């Protein structure tokens, strides 16, 4: 008697794609993140993704980790013009001067928010009173009133490359919004990953 191998059902975008995308879906996307270090990493990566595919960012993630001092927000906030010029020469990352400058400025503002709220996590999760928002497949927008509100607040504080679409993607990535499809094996699982 042959046993059938059970195959996990995933969100449509994680089917028939490179393994790095499948791992990201299975191990990170949509899982609650409360760790400021991880929240900064994802904010930096999402801001660099603007206009590009997420797969491009995933493939360059380790180069970003090395180039941006393991996403140490204090170090990134202190990057000098010389360090920014050095990053522009790094072929392993997205070499966009505006995005590099934004990463440094955003790190400074990230730290200001940490001081104001005790943590960036408290600030971010405060928008939903600490609750995960679950959506149905019919409700998969590119932005929402929540992402509009957070984006506007971050812009007002001086952050860049944090438009509502980028912020909505960020909210999905860090588990504030769980957009796993109803038949995905992770639909109701939002186990914390950081």
Residues involved in catalysis: 24, 46, 54
117 vs 102: CA distance, rounded Å = 22
Q: For residue 133, what is the enclosing H or E element? A: strand 133-134
62 vs 19: CA distance, rounded Å = 16
94 vs 63: CA distance, rounded Å = 10
For 130-168, b where at least 16 C-beta lie within 10 A, e where not — what string?
Answer: eebbebeeeeeeebbebbeebbeebeeeebbbbbbbbbb
Strand-pairing partners, residue 134, are 178
Q: Which two tokens stand for residue 41?
A: 């990493």
Please state the separation of Cα 33 from the chain's center in Å: 10
């Amino acid at each position: 008697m042959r046993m059938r191998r059970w195959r996990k059902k995933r969100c449509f975008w994680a089917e028939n794609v490179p393994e790095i995308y499948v791992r990201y879906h299975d191990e990170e996307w949509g899982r609650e993140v409360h760790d400021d270090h991880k929240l900064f990493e994802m904010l930096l990566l999402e801001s660099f993704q603007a206009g590009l595919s997420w797969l491009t960012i995933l493939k360059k993630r380790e180069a970003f980790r090395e180039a941006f001092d393991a996403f140490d927000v204090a170090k990134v906030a202190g990057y000098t013009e010389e360090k920014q010029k050095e990053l522009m020469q790094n072929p392993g990352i997205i070499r966009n001067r505006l995005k590099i400058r934004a990463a440094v400025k955003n790190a400074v503002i990230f730290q200001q928010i940490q001081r104001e709220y005790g943590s960036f996590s408290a600030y971010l999760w405060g928008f939903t009173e600490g609750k995960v928002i679950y959506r149905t497949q019919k409700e998969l927008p590119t932005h929402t009133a929540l992402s509009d509100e957070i984006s506007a607040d971050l812009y007002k504080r001086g952050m860049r490359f944090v438009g509502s679409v980028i912020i909505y993607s960020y909210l999905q990535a860090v588990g504030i919004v769980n957009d796993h499809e109803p038949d995905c094996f992770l639909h109701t699982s939002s186990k914390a990953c950081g």
